[in-house]
A and B are shown apart, each in its own frame.
Chain A
Amino acid sequence: MDSRSRFSSISLVATVRFGRPRGRSGPSPFLVGAAVITLLLNCGQTRVATAQIPGVVGGGVDAGLPRPAGPSTPTASGARRSEVFDSVALAHTRTFCVDMRNLESWQAAGVKEFLATASQPKEVLHRLPWQPIDDCGKADAVARIYFVLVDVREETSGAKLPATPVSFGQASRPVLLLYDKASIRLFYRAEGEVFKGNAVKVLASPFALLVRDLEKINGQTRRSPHFAR
Chain B
Amino acid sequence: MDRREGRRTLPGDGWSVEHDSPRRRYSHRTAALVLLVLMLAVAVVYSPRRCSAASLPIQQEGEDSYYAKAYTILDLPLPELLADIPELQGMEPAAGQEELPAILSKAGASVEQLYRNLVSVAADEEITQEQCGYDGRVKSSQRLRFGYLILVNHDGPAETLQEYRTDAGMKPVESAGVEEGFNATSNFASLWLLFYPDNRFGSNFRYLGQEVSEGRNLYVVAFAERPGKAATEGRVIAQGRSAVLLYQGLAWIDASSFRIVRMRLDLLEPRLDVGLERTTTELRFGEVRVPQATAVLWLPEEVTVTTIYYGQLYRNRHIYSNFRLFVVHSTIKPAAPRETHPQ
Contact B73 A56 (CB under 8 A): no
Q: How large is the interface on B (under 10, 10 to 19, 20 to 34, 35 or more residues)?
A: 35 or more
Q: B114: CB under 8 A from chain A?
A: no
Contact A55 B187 (CB under 8 A): yes
Q: B191: CB under 8 A from chain A?
A: yes
Give A65 to B176 CA distance when docked, in angstroms: 10
Of the stretches B92-100, B252-260, B302-310, B334-342, the one at the interface is B302-310
- Quick one: given A7-B196, A47-B158, are A1 and B234 in contact (CB under 8 Å)? yes
Chain B minimum-CB-distance residue to A146: B272
Q: How large is the interface on A (under 10, 10 to 19, 20 to 34, 35 or more residues)?
A: 35 or more
Query: Taking chain A's interface residues, is the majority helix, strand, or loop, or is none over half, making it mixed?
Result: loop
Among B39, B52, B163, B311, the most chain A Cβ lie within 10 Å of the Cβ of B311
Give A61 to B193 CA distance when docked, in angstroms: 20
List residues of chain A with CB within 8 A of the CB of B191: 53-54
B47 contact from A40, A49, A51, Cβ within 8 A: A40
Q: A202: CB under 8 A from chain B?
A: no
Question: Chain B, 178-190, contact with A by CB distance < 8 Å: what is the 0/1 string?
Answer: 1111111111101
Contact B175 A30 (CB under 8 A): no
Question: Chain B, 35-52, contact with A by CB distance < 8 Å: what is the 0/1 string?
Answer: 110011011101100111
Chain B minimum-CB-distance residue to A76: B311
B85 contact from A32, A46, A52, A184, Cβ within 8 A: A184
Chain B minimum-CB-distance residue to A43: B51
Q: A219: CB under 8 A from chain B?
A: no
Of the stretches B101-109, B207-215, B273-281, the one at the interface is B273-281
List residues of chain B with CB within 8 A of the CB of A70: 309-313
Contact A72 B311 (CB under 8 A): yes
Q: A148: CB under 8 A from chain B?
A: yes
Contact B181 A144 (CB under 8 A): no
Chain A nearest Cβ from B318, distance in angstroms: 10
Contact A148 B247 (CB under 8 A): no
- Quick one: given A2-B235, A181-B71, are A60 and B162 in contact (CB under 8 Å)? no
Q: A64: CB under 8 A from chain B?
A: yes
Chain B minimum-CB-distance residue to A83: B134
Q: A5: CB under 8 A from chain B?
A: yes
Q: A105: CB under 8 A from chain B?
A: no
- Quick one: given A186-B308, A226-B135, are A179 and B32 in contact (CB under 8 Å)? no
A148 contact from B19, B72, B83, B310, Cβ within 8 A: B310
Chain B nearest Cβ from A2, distance in angstroms: 4
List residues of chain A with CB within 8 A of the CB of B56: 6, 44-46
Residues of A within 8 A of B (CB): 1-9, 11, 22-23, 28-30, 32-34, 36-37, 40-73, 83, 85, 89, 101-102, 136-137, 142, 144, 146, 148, 175, 177, 179-186, 189, 191, 225-229
A-B contacts, 10 of them at CB < 8 A, read A23-B19, A47-B157, A54-B234, A57-B305, A59-B184, A60-B175, A65-B274, A65-B276, A101-B269, A182-B71
